[in-house]
Amino acid sequence: MDRQQRESLAGLTKNWPSAMQFDVPMAGYSTLRAGGRAAALIDVHRLSELRRLLEQLHEQQLVFRVIGRGSNILVTDKGFPGVIIRLKGELEQVDLVEASDENSDALETKKIEGGELLINAGGGCSLGNFLTWCAQQGLSGLEFMTGIPGSVGGAVRMNAGALGGEIGDCLHSLECVDACGSTIRVPRSDLRLSYRKAELVGRDRERDIDALIVASVNFRLMRVEQGEIRSRCAGYLSRRKGKQPTGVASAGSFFKNPAGDAAGRLIEAAGLKGRCCGEAMVSPVHANFIVNTGKSTATDILTLMEQVQETVFQEFAVRLEPEVEII
Ligand SMILES: Cc1cc2nc3c(=O)[nH]c(=O)nc-3n(C[C@H](O)[C@H](O)[C@H](O)COP(=O)(O)OP(=O)(O)OC[C@H]3O[C@@H](n4cnc5c(N)ncnc54)[C@H](O)[C@@H]3O)c2cc1C
């Protein structure tokens, strides 16, 4: 990014709730607590700001990447040459969509069957806050997501899930902003959701989902008694405890499970539990977690990732694919 581009981005965002920051170490924005620098980073608080920013980035031919809670990303030590965008403020809010509201989503609430309700959650909303709100409101459907430390937008992009459920199961539609700053509504039927993957199909199939920012998500949820929801959430949380490393930096499962098997089982069977590279380590608690035990660099983590891939391939002829998005 050259000086003129920096000046014009600084000028655009000067009076916004958060101004553009430059040359930002990404370790502070990733749960792995590692990573190179981004040329720029901004917290965007309104849909109008997001649209204006994307228009300008498009005009200046600058690359961007939206992140949520950084719980599934690793920026390489080379760094990211463009703008990292985070969704805050209005874009973190949650609301029940009322059938009487004067907007198209509201009209669709009437079409929802079987006592389901339509809930709109900002793409930047943390899953933890969203699930707490749902429990308070007596809205059920996503309890299995308890303990996943991401955002609503990041979880949809990854089709995050646990214990047999995926966030895609409760999706109704998305409101997205494209790389030119235009808003697009994406109904559930235009998405192909598979294991840790969301793709666009149907009329939008030519678009790349990587070029869309999920500004907000409509979910279909059911009314259930609050106590019942809380006890389900507690049950899901206790099933996680003891099986995953806690109190240590990680991005959750590092590799996707290959069809019919578990990446953790293969890594453990290859004798890699506890293997280190610098301060990156294959967790002794769960072999599919690569943890940062101190001041690991992104290069340490990626070198260890390659060693794991190579060893598992030699032992079992299975090529493990990272679930973590390497930026
Ligand atoms: C301890 C731990 C446990 C975990 N357990 C699970 C688990 O059980 N199941 C599971 O599926 N995952 C799990 N994860 C991984 C991670 O939490 C999920 O993938 C989560 O959904 C990522 O959300 P995020 O907001 O942190 O996304 P980020 O890591 O910030 O980003 C991930 C990807 O989503 C994109 N993205 C982020 N926000 C948006 C948006 N608004 N619009 C479009 N794209 C966006 C980013 O560009 C990137 O490609 C775990 C992680 C940790 C650290």
Active site residues: 196, 253, 323
Ligand 1 contact via 252 beta carbon (within 6 Å): yes
pLDDT digits (tens, 9 = 90+) for 146-201: 999 999 999 999 999 998 899 999 999 999 999 999 999 999 998 989 999 888 88
Locate 45 and state its tokens. Answer: 């608080």
- Percent of all residues in the chain with a pLDDT value above 90, rounded to a whole number: 83
pLDDT digits (tens, 9 = 90+) for 83-102: 999 999 999 999 988 755 54
Q: Which CATH number fits domain 263-326: 3.90.320.10, 3.90.78.10, 3.30.70.100, 3.20.20.70?
A: 3.90.78.10
296 touches 34 (CB < 8 A)? yes
Report the separation in Å between the CA atom of 99 and the middle of ligand 1, taken as the mean of its atom positions.
31
- The Cα 71–Cα 149 span in angstroms is 6
84 touches 65 (CB < 8 A)? yes
Q: What is the separation of C-alpha 165 from the centre of its chain, rounded to a whole number of angstroms?
A: 16
For a substitution probing ligand 1, which of 47, 67, 248 has the most ligand atoms within 8 Å of its CB?
A: 67
- The Cα 299–Cα 308 span in angstroms is 14
CATH fold for domain 3-89: 3.30.43
Residue-wise DSSP of 120-184? EEETTSBHHHHHHHHHHHTEES-GGGTT---BHHHHHHHT-EETTEEGGGGEEEEEEE-TTS-EE
What is the model's pLDDT at position 107? 47
pLDDT digits (tens, 9 = 90+) for 250-293: 999 999 999 999 999 999 999 999 999 999 999 999 999 999 99
Amino acid identity, residue 92?
A: E
Where are the domains positioned within the chain? 3-89, 93-240, 263-326
- The Cα 192–Cα 166 span in angstroms is 13
Q: In 10 A of CB 123, how many CB atoms?
A: 27
Mean pLDDT, rounded, of the chain: 92
Q: Which CATH class is domain 93-240?
A: alpha beta
